Structure 1
Amino acid sequence: MNSAYALRSMLQQVSGLSTVRFDANECSPSVWKAVLGGATLGFLWGVAARFWMRLISTRPEFSLSGTAIILLVATLFGAWTGLAFVARRRGWQGWRHYVPRALAVLFFIPFGFGGGAPLMLTVLLVTLAQTQPTGAGVWWILAALLLILGPTILGMESIVPGMIGLLVLSVTVALIRWKRVTWNWRGKPWGSSGDIWLKRIARAMLLLLVLALFGFVSGAIITDKPGLRALVYILFYLALLYPLFLALRIALEPRTKSVN
């Protein structure tokens, strides 16, 4: 009974992460509770992900080593995310604050190995677009590089995305250069409005790339598992993406002024 209550309480806390303010100066949660809780949730996510892979596969044969790697990656990511959550809620300073967050991001990268690139990139792009107040130029460059490298990562043969990416990259470099030349416009109303709209357009491009990645996965599922099963498996995929977004947000969201 106690174990069931603890798990239910932990799941309730996770469901509220989409609105919680991470940075504070509190005495809770305890380090080990957060780390073990994060590791447990990561392990459960890995089990669910492996089950989803089993459902969508046309050749449902999995090795024990492959399953172990998926569970290990998810568990370690969950553990580091739990520690990053503690670092933020307790208001740790210096390296004690940033190292757990950096390690959480580092241990997120292996989700993209072995065919997981669409999942990893989808979560990463959504999280970056929602959390990072980076200048428009950085967003455009990132979007361009994804267009150039994305087809190779996904095993696509079309050269169209790469050509669009090169065009976007060229325009971005020219735009950054133009802004440096006309830096004195920055304080004027049209200069500020231009920056705002450029950031919005750049983030919209990232979200369009997210939709393209999601469409790529959904299309493959519909092709292999047509009918109602495809809809169920796609919804299952969305359910797998959301916890990763919440967890990665803990690591990537900019630090704010701590509140008691």
Structure 2
Amino acid sequence: MTADSRLPAPTTGVSGLLLGAGRGAVLGLAWGLAARIWMRAITDVPEFSWTGTLMILGFAAWLGLGSGLLAAARRGGRKPWWALLGAPGLLLFASPGMVMLPAFLFGGLAFSTHARPWRLIGWLAVATPTTLLVALSRNEPVTDDVLLFAIGGSVMLSVGLALLGAPLWTGRRRAES
């Protein structure tokens, strides 16, 4: 008898997976919309293209879809290969979005049930994008209002990405003894 044969059969059917994917896509889309509004508000040259906006929204929704699908699969005892369906959403972190990648990849540890050092690593990953934003904009002339909005928005977006990335750090449901 293998270790996998002692695990319960998956309890989440296709409808549960689709529901999780749909919820994740909506949350990812909401995150992408908030990110685009934030980007527009903190720039002094607000010239954005519809193509860029739609790509951000699309990749954010795709990333959320993958995260929701993974969360539903893990809750239902399925194997984590479902996460691969959301992998194209990682293109969201190409170019300037790269500074937000630590919040997605490791920020979920902040909300995990792992040991305290792992949660600390998660919170450091959540703080990384805001720290980089402050460091990179140190020499730019900004008003206190814009700086406060930039930092507050960055923290909000980082926490949102950490929550989207949290299913990467949760385990599959195990058989109850």
Same fold (TM over 0.5): yes
Determine helix, strand or coil for the equivalent of 2:171: coil
Write out the 4+ residue segments of structure 1 that deviate beyond 4 Å after TM superposition. Answer: 24-29, 128-133, 202-213
Aligned partner of 2:147: which letter? Answer: A
Q: What is the root-mean-square deviation of aligned Cα atoms in Å?
A: 3.4
Instruction: State how far apart, in whole Å, the 1-side matches of 2:124 and 2:160 are.
Output: 21
Query: In the alignment, which residue of structure 1 is the partner of 2:6?
Result: none
Alignment check: 8 A CA contact 2:111 2:163 kept: no
Q: What is the CA distance between 1:128 and its match in structure 2? A: 5.3
Q: What is the CA distance between 1:132 and its match in structure 2? A: 10
Aligned pairs for 1:93-242 within 5 A: 97-104=79-86, 106-127=87-108, 200=117, 211=127, 213-221=129-137, 223-242=140-159
Q: What is the CA distance between 1:213 and its match in structure 2? A: 4.3
Instruction: State how far apart, in whole Å, the 2-side matches of 1:125 and 1:239 are.
Output: 16
Instruction: State how far apart, in whole Å, the 2-side matches of 1:98 and 1:51 are.
Output: 33
Percent of residue pairs bearing the same amino acid type: 27
| Unpaired segments ≥5 residues, structure 2 | 1-8
Alignment of 1:257 onto 2:174: yes
Instruction: State how far apart, in whole Å, the 1-side matches of 2:122 and 2:169 are.
Output: 16
| Unpaired segments ≥5 residues, structure 1 | 1-23, 134-195
The Cα offsets for residues 170-216 of structure 1, whole Å up to 9 and x where unpaired, read as xxxxxxxxxxxxxxxxxxxxxxxxxx9xx95x986786576454312
Alignment check: 8 A CA contact 2:61 2:89 kept: no
How many residue pairs get aligned? The number is 167
From 43, 65, 74, the counterpart of 1:88: 74
Instruction: State how far apart, in whole Å, the 2-side matches of 1:65 and 1:255 are.
Output: 38
Q: TM-score, normalised by structure 2?
A: 0.74
Aligned partner of 2:49: which letter? Answer: S
Larger Rg: 1
Query: In the alignment, which residue of structure 2 is the partner of 1:246?
Result: 163
Query: How has the CA–CA distance of structure 1 residues 205 and 72 changed in structure 2, closer, same or farther, with 3 Å as cutoff?
Result: closer
Query: In the alignment, which residue of structure 2 is the partner of 1:148?
Result: none
Instruction: State how far apart, in whole Å, the 2-side matches of 1:246 and 1:210 are.
Output: 10
Instruction: State how far apart, in whole Å, the 2-side matches of 1:256 and 1:91 are.
Output: 5
